[in-house]
Each structure stands twice: as structure tokens, then as C-alpha cells.
Structure 1
Amino acid sequence: MDILFLDLMGKPLWTWGVFFALVLALLVFDLGVLHRKSHEIGIRESLWLSAFYITVGIAFSGWVWQHLGSQAALDYLTGFVVEKSLAMDNIFVIAMIFGYFGIPRAYQHRVLVYGILGVIILRGIMIGAGAAVVARFEWVLLIFAGFLILTGIKMLRSGDEEYDVAANPVLRFMRRRFRVTEGLEGERFFVRRPRDLSGRSALFLTPLFLALVMVELADVIFAVDSIPAIFAITTDPYIIYTSNIFAILGLRALYFALSAMLHRFVHLKTALSLVLIFIGSKVLAAEFLGIEKVPPALSLGVTAGILVGGVVLSLWRTRPAAIAPALAIKVEGPAK
């Protein structure tokens, strides 16, 4: 049993085993029980499923508190909140991807859940590489902090730019190099079809698989922002990885509710920008201005406060009573 106590990136092997066992159980329950048959997920089901995942994610912080200490638990919760919030911006892109390929809502959950498997692997590679670099060159954290500030400023200035799915070079490459069916083939990612008049069959990709690849690629792009953000909070690979995965698990469930009301989160990007600037600034301030490091509890409070404020302001500004006068002016035209 000594193997269970072997060190893996600063933590005993058994702690990693607990995490992966829990994630595997969640995926099996999700795919094998709740969604054994494909169906359209409504807003109510989406909210209940998301609440379940959020509860599991927060409950895991209690386990972290018990076994790794209070600071590790606060760092985990901060990372969980930051990752979930940043990934919410990814929902806008995912909605565009599904719209571009014409993926019915009944098949979208399959793409998102299978996409989790790719996220688990890709995030693990990126976080493992980042941890190795930071352990050897600690000054890289300052580069991460500067990158976060620049990214936040860029987000503030960019406004609501739309993601052009058709222009993606990976999608263009796949369409050129692989056989792709004209339309969907149910919920299948691959099918065999005759490739020529001889009747010989060949493997074809379906638009559902292309959507899966685009969703995975979008996650990698967003990870470039989110992973430096959590490295600026903690350098513990276990805390970074577990908070990342639990946040993404719940967000995929929340997608079906949020995708129906994306138009109401008009100030979400601004709030996310301020979070990135805050996280990057506190690292640089501690290094160059001699300001004491922000306590984990305060960091969590400020981050949550910015995000909640952005959401509340968005919902307030887009409430029916607020947009009715503007719509009336638009329909009736300016007074003469």
C-alpha cells in the first residue's frame, strides 16, 4: 500500500485517486444514467444539473480543507470561481459553434460531455507543464501576471466581437484533408460510406465530430487565459487542476440554461476583464511595490464581488422594464 503515498506533483498519489474516482463516477452517472438516451435538455433540467455539479465542487473544497488545510481550500474556491466565470465567456463561442453546424439541442449534451474527456487530458498537460516551468523559473509568474493585465485591458477594449467559426484554420484543414458527410448522422461522430462508384467504403467524419473538435479547440484557447489566472492565485498543481475540472464540469451542465439568455449578460465581459486585471495586479504589486500579498479570503471576496456585481448589473440593465422604452422608440421611430 506504500504506492498510495508516492508523491505526484507535490501530493500523495491517493489524493489524486480520490479526485479521478469522483470525476469518473460523475461522468458515468451523467452519461450512463441521466442521459443514456439523447434528449433535448430544458432550462429547468440544466439548472438542477448545474446546481448538483456546483454542490459537488464546493463540497470537494471541504475535503481539501480537511486534508490539505484552510489556505488550500480558499485557494481552491478562488480558482473554482475564477475558472467557472472565465469559462462562462466560452459559452458564447460554444453557442456559435453549435449554431454554425446546426447541431440540435438533443445532441449538444453528447458533444459537451465527451468534450470533458479532452479537457481532462489537455488541461492536465498544460497545468503539468506550467507547474514544471514555474517550479524552475519562478519569475514566470510575473509574466503570467502581466499577460493577465494585458488580456483584461484587451477584453475591455474589444467589446462584443463575434467568433468566426468558418474562418478557423483547423476547420478548414479538416474539411480539406478528411471526408466529411454533408449532414448529421444522428448522434454518431463517424460513419462508413461508399467513397466512389466501386462501392468500397471509407470512414467519414460527421459535422457532430467537427463541432466536438471546435469546442475542444475553443477550450484550449480559453485555457491560455484561465490557467495563468489560477497560477497567479496558487502554484499548487493539485489545487489548480481540481478546481479547473470541477468548474468546467458544472459549466457544461449550465450551458443549456445560459445559452437561452446570453443576450442578458451584457456586462459579463467587463466583469471578467476586471477580474483578470485584479489578479494580475495583486501579483505585480506584491513583487514591485512591496505590498503585502492579498489574503486568500480577501482575494476570493473581491473576485466573487466583481463577478456578482457584473451579473446583477447585466440582469438589471436588460430587465423588461428597462428595455421597453428603447424598443418603443425603435418601433415607432423618433418623434417629429
Structure 2
Amino acid sequence: MISNEIIFFSAFLAFILGMLLLDLGVFSRKNHIVSFKEAGIWSAVWITFALIFYFIIRTHGDLIHGVENFDDLKVIQQRYAEEITLYPDDFERSLESYRSNMALEFITGYLVEYALSVDNIFVIIMIFTSFGVREKYYKKVLFWGILGALIMRFLFIFAASSLILKAGWVLYLFGAFLVFTGVQMYLNRNKEDKIEPQEHPVVKFASRYFAVVPRYVNDRFFVRKRGKLMLTPLFVVVLIIEFTDLIFAVDSVPAVFAVTTDPYVVFFSNIFAIMGLRSMFFFLANVMHLFHYLKVGLAVLLMFIGTKMLAHSYLKEIGFKTQYSLYIIIGILLISVLASLVFPAKPKEDPEQSSEKPSSAPKKTIKH
């Protein structure tokens, strides 16, 4: 007999893949530069889907694990939600408590993943710029990049969940890693990252083991020359996007496990955030520079989540609830955004213009 978890999970994947195919076959038949308006609409669409899913969990979340009676609920509570209170004499009240907590975990995990995805946008912009990808191909590259991310997140999340269930001490390891990552992000907040295309490990790997065409061939990922199948630089960029998401998953997935240890809730929140990432990329790409304190906010967010994981036993004893985490996370993000707007970044001075004494030596011309 097929379990409720498989049915619910399959329906969720069918919906996500259906939306991706609809976008690919109907809305993205031709490569085009995504306008600010189009990006805003799609961002709103995916946020709306996430909120609808929140209400589905809020009213029918017990269907995910096939909870039919109090004994079923008690098993799930001991496995994933020890912080909720069950009422042996009132199954409906216990079920309501479980649904409410599960929905809150989903929306909190979604917010955490969405926020951490913002840092991913900085890197993706840098990748596209460094590799000279034409703007009208951005959407196609991100489409296939996100499709690969779905598979990697699935493997990563359920492997991590299995590990946590078998060895609870892994949560402390995750917590220490997140605190370390948050501190590193804060210390390097003003450091300008650069990508040297020829030195990137993915480029070196692809060049070593595959035949790669030296230049872009429109929007094609593969070309055949003299009977030999070759990769194009555009496909290499897709691989770099996948590699980048894998690195970010090392931070973001453990961060959501600080909110809930239910792998299905972690996966659902991750996927909705990733799906919104592509639209958010086009929506925020041109205004990211306005939120210069956002990196500080994300660093504090990672340190808070890591600390919460390290102290999860103590927090459980004092009754620290999921909604408290949600309030703190929202507060951190709001403060970082408001601080960016109230205290805008000072424009960087041009070294040539800021020099006090102009040089009398003749300027050398550089030929391009």
C-alpha cells in the first residue's frame, strides 16, 4: 500500500514540475530579457503559492504523514515535533496543535531559505557578469539550474534527516558550522568577491574531461562538430550555477533543520524558496546595491540559527516556541533592510578623481 507521504510528495513534485514545464513551453518559448514587471508578477505568483500551501498544511497537514488516530500523532510528535503539547483525551485539539505548529514551521523555514537565497543572488549576478552571459539567456540558464537544484536538495535534505534521526549530535555540528559561517560572512561583508573564469574549479573540470567549444553558440548547450558532441560555455555556466547552489545548500538546509526536523517540511519550504529565487533574481538584481546592510543581517541570522541549534535542548526545556524564532528572524531582516534605507551607502570614490596632485606624466592609452 502506498503511504500518504509518497502520495503527498508525488503530488507536490507533479505540481512543481508542471509549473516548470508550463513556464518552459508557454511563457519562455523565446529567449528574452525579463522585465521588472514580469519578474515582479512571477515573484508574487510564487509567494502566493507558498502562502496557499501554508494554509493547506494549516488545515490538512496531518495528511502528509497519514495521521489517523492519537497513537499515529504521538509517534510523529516524538519524531519531529516534541515541542507541541498533546491532549490524550482530546484528539481534535491535539491535531489542531500539530497542524498549527507544522504550518508555522513551514512558513518560518520558507522565510529563512528565501532570505539566505538573497546572498545566492549576489553570486549568480557575479557568475553571469564574469562569464559574459547575454541577459536574454539568464532565464534559460536559471531554469535548468533550478531543475538540478530540486534533485540535489531532495538528496541533501533526506540524507541529512536520516542522519539526524540516527545521530542527534549532528544538530550540534550543524549549529557550530552555521555560527562559524555567520561570523565569516560578517567579517567578509565588505570584501569584494571576484571570479576568474579560467580558474573556476567547474571550468577546469569540464575542460579536462569534456570537449568544450571556446565560444558561445547562441542559446545552445551542446553542439556537434565532426561527429563529436561538445559542451558550450553556456552549459558550463549551468554547471557552475548547480555547483554554487550545492555550496549554498550546505548553509541553508541545516538552517531550516534548526526550525524543524521534519524532512518533508524542510523540502517543501526549500523548493518554494528556490522556485521564487529565479523570479526574485530578475526583480532584485538592479536594486540589490540599495540593501548594503543585508549581508550583516544574513550573518546575524545564521549566527542566531546556529546558536539555536547548539542550545536546542535547553530551549526545549524552557518552552521556546517556533513562533519566537519567526519573530526574531523577521526582526533581523526588517532591521537590516530599514538600516540600509535610513543609512544609505556612501558612493565609492574614484581613485583617479580623489588624488590631490594630478600627475604631469602623459597618460598611456590602452588599445582594446
- 1:302 aligned partner: 328
Shift of 1:24: 1.6
* Matching of residue 93 in structure 1 with residue 86 in structure 2: no
Between the aligned partners of 2:218 and 2:30, the Cα distance in structure 1 is 12
Shift of 1:35: 1.2
Shift of 1:56: 0.7
Between the aligned partners of 2:193 and 2:46, the Cα distance in structure 1 is 29
Contact 1:93 1:163 in 2 (8 A): no
Between the aligned partners of 1:136 and 1:238, the Cα distance in structure 2 is 17
Between the aligned partners of 1:289 and 1:245, the Cα distance in structure 2 is 28
Contact 1:97 1:165 in 2 (8 A): no
Higher relative contact order, structure no. (Cα contacts within 8 Å, ≥ 6 residues apart)? 1
Structure number with larger C-alpha Rg: 2
- 2:175 aligned partner: 145
Contact 1:142 1:284 in 2 (8 A): yes
User: 1:156–1:291: structure 2 CA closer, same or farther, 3 Å change rule?
Assistant: farther
**SS at 1:102's partner residue?**
coil
Contact 1:153 1:277 in 2 (8 A): yes
Between the aligned partners of 2:343 and 2:124, the Cα distance in structure 1 is 24
Q: TM-score, normalised by structure 2?
A: 0.81
- 1:198 aligned partner: none
Map of 1:57-206 to 2, 5 A cutoff?
57-68=50-61, 69-159=99-189, 160-166=191-197, 167-194=199-226, 201-206=227-232
Contact 1:131 1:235 in 2 (8 A): yes
- 1:271 aligned partner: 297
Q: Which runs of no fewer than 5 residues in structure 1 stay unpaired?
A: 195-200
- Letter of the 2:167 counterpart: F
Shift of 1:333: 7.7
**SS at 2:311's partner residue?**
helix
**SS at 2:238's partner residue?**
helix
- Letter of the 1:157 counterpart: L
Shift of 1:170: 2.3
Between the aligned partners of 2:338 and 2:31, the Cα distance in structure 1 is 34
Between the aligned partners of 1:293 and 1:299, the Cα distance in structure 2 is 12
Between the aligned partners of 1:298 and 1:250, the Cα distance in structure 2 is 25
Between the aligned partners of 2:176 and 2:346, the Cα distance in structure 1 is 38
User: 1:287–1:39: structure 2 CA closer, same or farther, 3 Å change rule?
Assistant: same
Q: TM-score, normalised by structure 1?
A: 0.88
- Residues 228-286 of structure 1 show CA distances to partners (whole Å, capped at 9, x for unaligned) of 11111111010000100100100111111222223222111110111111112223234
- Residues 163-197 of structure 1 show CA distances to partners (whole Å, capped at 9, x for unaligned) of 42433222112123322222211111001123xxx
Between the aligned partners of 1:21 and 1:289, the Cα distance in structure 2 is 38
Instruction: Give me the CA root mean square deviation.
Output: 2.2
* Matching of residue 261 in structure 1 with residue 306 in structure 2: no
- 1:36 aligned partner: 29
- Residues 47-73 of structure 1 show CA distances to partners (whole Å, capped at 9, x for unaligned) of 111111111112111111111211111
Shift of 1:99: 1.1
- Letter of the 1:74 counterpart: L
User: 1:269–1:323: structure 2 CA closer, same or farther, 3 Å change rule?
Assistant: closer
User: 1:179–1:323: structure 2 CA closer, same or farther, 3 Å change rule?
Assistant: same
Q: Which stretch shifts more, 212-221 or 58-67? A: 58-67
Shift of 1:293: 4.5
Between the aligned partners of 1:120 and 1:85, the Cα distance in structure 2 is 18
Of all paired residues, the percent bearing the same amino acid is 40
The number of equivalent residue pairs is: 317
Contact 1:286 1:293 in 2 (8 A): no
- 2:256 aligned partner: 230
Between the aligned partners of 2:354 and 2:202, the Cα distance in structure 1 is 46
User: 1:230–1:163: structure 2 CA closer, same or farther, 3 Å change rule?
Assistant: farther
Contact 1:282 1:294 in 2 (8 A): no
Contact 2:178 2:305 in 1 (8 A): yes
Contact 2:171 2:310 in 1 (8 A): no
**SS at 1:191's partner residue?**
strand
Shift of 1:128: 1.1
- 2:9 aligned partner: 16
Between the aligned partners of 2:194 and 2:49, the Cα distance in structure 1 is 32
Between the aligned partners of 1:15 and 1:32, the Cα distance in structure 2 is 26
User: 1:17–1:181: structure 2 CA closer, same or farther, 3 Å change rule?
Assistant: same
Shift of 1:34: 1.4
Say which of 204, 219, 241 aligns to 2:267.
Answer: 241
